[in-house]
Amino acid sequence: EEDAQVVIVDWEGEPVALGYYRGGAIHLQTRFGGEREPLENARRSTIDDVLKANALFLEELVSKALAFIHVMREKTSDRPLLVSFSGGKDSLVALHLTLKLGLDPIVVFNDTGLELPETVETVYRTVERYGLRLEVASAGDAFWRAVEFFGPPAKDYRWCCKVAKLGPMARLVNSRWPRGALNIVGQRAFESLDRAKTPRVWRNRWFPQLLNISPIQYWNSFMIWLYIFREKLDYNPLYNLGYERIGCYMCPASSLAEYNYVSRTHPTLWKRWWSVLEKWRCKLCLPPEWSRHGLWRWLGPAEQKLRLARRLGVEESVLRWRDWFEKWSWHRPKPEEKKEDRVAIVFGEKLDSKPLAEQAPVLGKSCSVGGEGGRVVVETPTVLYSFDGVRLEVVGKHVHGDRLLEEAFDALKIVYRGNYCVDCLSCESNCPRRAIKVVGGRPVVDATKCIACRLCLDVCPIAEVYVEKIEVVRLLGKIYASKRPSKRRISDIVEKAKTLHRLAAEKVEKKPEETVPWTTIFGTG
């Protein structure tokens, strides 16, 4: 009972303190008799002692988790049941809890191509042990191909998740469960601040068809391990080598200690990543500490990065971010003109202008495409775009100021992704009308299907990560330019994705007089 008073006793059953129960934990209030003499012949506690001491609390957590899964499954009984299994301890517990209820889930493994061999082996061994069906969202070597263009990922430059995780997962979901499914995930609030903000039930904007639930959201790591030992689960052997987390072995969210583990236990894999870091360090003219001490884990001059650089004596290299952003940039576009009704951007090297024509419908449902001599002109009712491979000009007819600048940035994104598409197929997977296809290594849009929702831009790692984090920052001269007020908000993107995917999955056919135009819902965009 909440706020109930409790008596705390020692191993011999003697009362030693008073406390109270609140928020799922016992809080110490008053101790008796001051310091106690240490017990003579005290023995070391065994795991059985620990399990016995925490049995009631663990059982309460398990009961709540099982009840949560049961209720959510009853509410979604008409949909397939999935369990996302990464090969780590948390998803192992989530899977076992699901099996405890007698359910028969489909196991989904997101193979990023960056998992350690033991993790992949654990996934297949676990699936075979319980006789479950396995579906794999595989990224293949997508990360290694993409890193040549993007450069090393960072905590504030997470293109890797889109290429190696979200893209492959979206493709799998669209092909297997387009009408939705219940997905049980081993996610915990104690893992990170972002996950602490995530509710127990949520949808991902990349595959909103899935209803994700986390039955262990409020478990701590100690309780996870107690459950594993109590149930004698076959966990990933990497934990016995000292690994604290399981996942992409070069994740920018990892600590230097974790990289050290990888370099010692899997030297060949680490050498491959180290060669990438050194290649980019030399390209950006940065000191050895950038690679050696993990300064690459942040793109911009974050406070934590500055503190570390200060201790290493290389703070200046972090503060002159504008210099190495210039070296990071491909084709180094510069602002030539910025007026209320006109924006012009000039590239340092020539690009192919065809992508603007091939993706023109994204800029407006009612658009016309023209031009000659390598110059492409796209005209919508509100904006005129032109690009000759060097100069991108955007003229507003009924759009001005910051909104026109956003139109210029969207055109810039189209140019870059058309010239440097990394074949992640995120645009294909997320388009609710299947209007975009990657043909010959570049996106092409079908004007008869496209509704100009621009969702394909918002999920594209080149458009949403590279252009926003590198090129827009350079053009505006502000390190946090991607957070500007005029940019499309993530909340709007999420709602748009959910609505479009739901309508696409349902394939609703209405009478002409009942049909609501897409532009009424989302604007001409």
Q: How confident is the model at residue 33 (pLDDT cuts 50, 70, 90)?
A: low
| Residue with the two structure tokens 């990892």 | 254
Looking up residue 423, the CATH number of its domain turns out to be 3.30.70.20
Question: Would the pLDDT of 496 be above 70?
Answer: no
Q: 246-250: which pairs have CB atoms within 8 A and are 24 or more residues apart?
A: 246/86, 246/87, 246/88, 246/89, 246/116, 246/119, 247/86, 247/88, 247/112, 247/114, 247/115, 247/119, 248/112, 248/114, 248/115, 248/160, 248/164, 249/114, 249/115, 249/116, 249/273, 250/114
Residue 234 lies in a domain: yes
CB 346 within 8 A of CB 333: yes
Same domain, residue pair 91 and 106: yes
Buried b vs exposed e over 394-424: b needs ≥16 C-beta within 10 Å? bbbeebeeeebbbbbbbbbbbbbbbbbbbeb
pLDDT at 252 > cutoff 90: yes
Question: Within this chain, do residues 319 and 184 fall inside the same structural domain, yes or no?
Answer: no
Q: Which range has the worst mean pLDDT, 1-5, 140-144, 163-167, 476-480?
A: 1-5
247 lies in a domain? no
Does residue 251 belong to any structural domain of this protein?
Answer: no
- In this prediction, residue 26 has a pLDDT band, given cuts at 50, 70 and 90, of confident
Residue 248 resides in a domain: no
Asked if residue 271 and residue 167 are part of one domain, the reply reads no
Q: What is the count of structural domains for the chain?
A: 4
Q: Is residue 465 part of a domain?
A: yes
Q: Which amino acid is at 191?
A: E
- Residue 289's domain comprises 256-328
246 belongs to a structural domain: no
> Do 356 and 495 lie in a common domain?
yes
Give the pLDDT confidence of 428-467 residue by residue, as tens digits. Answer: 988 888 999 999 889 999 999 999 999 999 999 999 999 9
Mean pLDDT taken over the chain = 89
Do 501 and 401 share a domain, yes or no? yes
Average pLDDT over residues 11-20: 79
Q: Specify whether 488 is located in the same domain as 386.
A: yes
Same domain, 487 and 397: yes
pLDDT higher than 50, residue 85: yes
pLDDT of residue 5: 80
Backbone angles phi and psi of 438, in degrees to 5: -90, 110
In a domain, 491, yes or no: yes
Do 188 and 312 lie in one domain? The reply is no
Note whether 90 and 193 are same-domain residues: yes
> Do 84 and 178 reside in the same domain of the chain?
yes
Question: 151 with 298: CB under 8 angstroms?
Answer: no
| Residue at a domain's end among 328, 353, 381 | 328
283 and 363 share one domain:
no
CA distances from 86 to 90, 226, 239, 245 (A): 9, 19, 14, 11
Q: What per-residue confidence (pLDDT) applies to 523?
A: 35
- Asked whether residue 505 carries a pLDDT value surpassing 80, the answer given is no
Q: Based on the domain organization, do 146 and 230 belong to the same domain?
A: yes
